[in-house]
Structure 1
């Protein structure tokens, strides 16, 4: 559909960080279009 889309990501914290960085830096996605939530880091939090 036309218009600004949204991206929602949730998952393993280190993986989510890499995906977010890629989308922002390599794909030029507007930060306001992202919702990113990391879970399950090494500390078990």
Structure 2
């Protein structure tokens, strides 16, 4: 049921100057926080 509540909005891949190597960010639109959405940071 949770999978119906969100969808991917953006994928952020930073350059080496601003971020550690192997770090990406995922941005989701979601039903429970329409204004802010959901963000996930993945390292290594």
Q: Give the TM-score category using the shorter length.
A: under 0.3
TM-score normalized with structure 1 length:
0.20
Query: Which one has a larger percent strand, Structure 1 or Structure 2?
Result: 2
Query: Which one has a larger percent helix, Structure 1 or Structure 2?
Result: 1
> Which one scores higher on RCO, CA 8 angstroms, separation ≥ 6?
1
TM-score normalized with structure 2 length:
0.20
